Amino acid sequence: MKFLLVKCHQPTLFTALQPIVTEPLELEVLAAVIQRHGHTCRLYDSWLEEISFSQVLEEASPQVLLLSGYITALETMKATAAQARKQLPQLLILAGGVHASLNPADFMVTAIDLVVHGNGVVVLDQLLATDCRRESWPLTDGIAYQADGQWHLNPASLMTAHHLSTSQATSQDSESPCNETPPASTLPPLPDRRYFNTYAHRTHYMTQRPVALIQTALGCPYTCDFCYCRHLNGGAYTPFPLERVMDDLAAAKSHLCWIVDDTFLLHRPRVEAFLDQLQQRQINRQFIAYARADFIVNHADLLPRLKAAGFRQLIVGLEAVDQQRLDDYEKRLSPEMNQQAVTLMKRAGMEMACLFMVHPQDRHSDFRRLRRWIRRNRLAPYTLSIYTPMPGLPGYDAAKPLFTTSDPAKWDFLHLVLRPTHMKPWVFYLQMAYTYSLQLFWSPLVRRTVWRAVTRTCRRLLHLPPHQSLQEETP
């Protein structure tokens, strides 16, 4: 069978600038599954290719189309499915991705045959074992399917049975269950990076290109109130064997690697083993990874070793600078710990990208407090997101009567979907923009990122090739 795997996008406030463009890692993993079963596939990501979907569909002439995307791309995915159905009526069309995992009903439309709401690797393995025959669908875990004009929802499928609590997963005991990993036969295969190798020059992280994505675990054992990803894969935290991670790193043809685990710096023995294996296998890379402020504070002695191993930036979700809001978000942090983390990272000479989340209930004084904190610490880069109840999470249904929009494209954490309590929406956005812009005054990196993004956009609109002097830095 011939498969076409498509990453769907929806333009956002940042789409024109595109400060970050990455490979469709989830599709590369699924491509490896498909090829393991002896089938062929073509990947397509409109952010990496200039060819249209219609042209790709015509040229590839697939028997199976698999669509993936975030909640913001929900309508794009449904429109793409309808277009494909019209162009190739006999096509088998599957929809999946992180939004479908918890909200399969959103994809139950006529143009789509199957919705994948379980782990994509497990589901695809089951489907391919039966050549995607319709009679096997009722026995396939993790899908919703159409039959006789009705939709049927099968139980979810998981990657692993390891459900770890926060205390287990972050335990410093080397015998902690966090060291347990699922059998190799149940793990996803290494991604097929031929698509990345072809379009690596189009990927970038701020001013640097190319950037490869690396995943060393699924899920997160923490319980942050706003986090969608912690509910994926049945809420199970699943670390991959480090041997597999090293094989993936060795195969990735990029000096800069972005570890996209929800929280990579989680379990100290595993982090130390990771660093040991980098040295043993002489893998020389530079890394971007997610971390928590409490790990940085509790394991500050690891920072010099992380820096020496190539960790150039840690992305840290500080979220707020007052205790009440941190408690509301269930971050299990304090403002003092956030401050300590910033101080320790500066002392270690490591770059820290700070993530903040403003709330529709914030007052002018809350924005002023945040700006003072940012100025005092000279933070850069940092981002601001707007607290957004996500469909499929606890609290979403209770918040629905307060929504100001039903457009899924607005669920990008950059739009207000809840009306601000203490100011008009345009004033809230103005407060955000002002707070965001502070870093331009003291960060050459941020200024360079914005300038190059604007230049890239202008040249793209004018159909001009990238200017040699404006090529991104290679780490």
Domain boundary assignment for the chain: 2-153, 166-461
Q: Is the pLDDT of residue 181 over 50?
A: yes
Structure tokens that stand for 195 in this block: 């698509």
pLDDT on residue 14: 67
For 72-103, write each residue's pLDDT tens digit.
999 999 999 999 999 999 999 999 999 999 99
**Residue 361: pLDDT over 70:** yes
Write the CATH number of the domain with boundaries 2-153.
3.40.50.2300
CATH class of 166-461: alpha beta
Tokens 């998981």 sit at which residue? 158
Is there a cis peptide before residue 210, judged by omega within 30 degrees of 0? yes
Q: Which residues is 66 bridged to in the sheet? A: 5, 94
pLDDT score for 452: 77
| pLDDT, average across residues 158-174 | 49
* pLDDT over 50 (residue 351): yes
* Closest listed residue to residue 297, CA positions, set 279, 318, 274, 323: 318
* Span 408-412, average pLDDT: 95
Average pLDDT for 400-404 = 95
Mean pLDDT score across all residues of the chain:
91
CA distance 333 to 339: 11
Helices vs. strands in the chain: H and E counts, helices first: 18, 17
Largest CA distance in the chain: 64
In contact, 68 and 96? CB cutoff 8 Å: yes
DSSP state of 411: T
d(CA 190, CA 248) in angstroms, rounded, equals 6
- Mean predicted confidence (pLDDT) in 46-69: 97
**pLDDT (average), residues 10-27:** 84
Query: For the stretch 395-431, what's the b/e string if a residue is b when 16 or more beta carbons lie within 10 angstroms of its beta carbon?
Result: eeeeeeeeeeeeebbbbbbbbbbbebeebeeeebbeb
- Mean pLDDT calculated for residue range 4-18: 83
Comparing 31-45, 152-166, 253-267, 421-435, the range with the smallest average pLDDT is 152-166
CA–CA separation, 427 and 222 (whole Å): 33
With a threshold of 0.75, does the pTM exceed it? yes
Sign of CA dihedral 205, 211, 216, 218: positive
Distances (CA, A) of 177 to 224, 235, 274: 22, 16, 17
* Nearest of 88, 108, 63, 79 to residue 8 by alpha carbon: 79
**How would you classify residue 286: left for phi > 0, otherwise alpha for psi between -120 and 50, otherwise beta?**
beta
pLDDT at residue number 230:
87
Average of per-residue pLDDT across 290-298 = 98
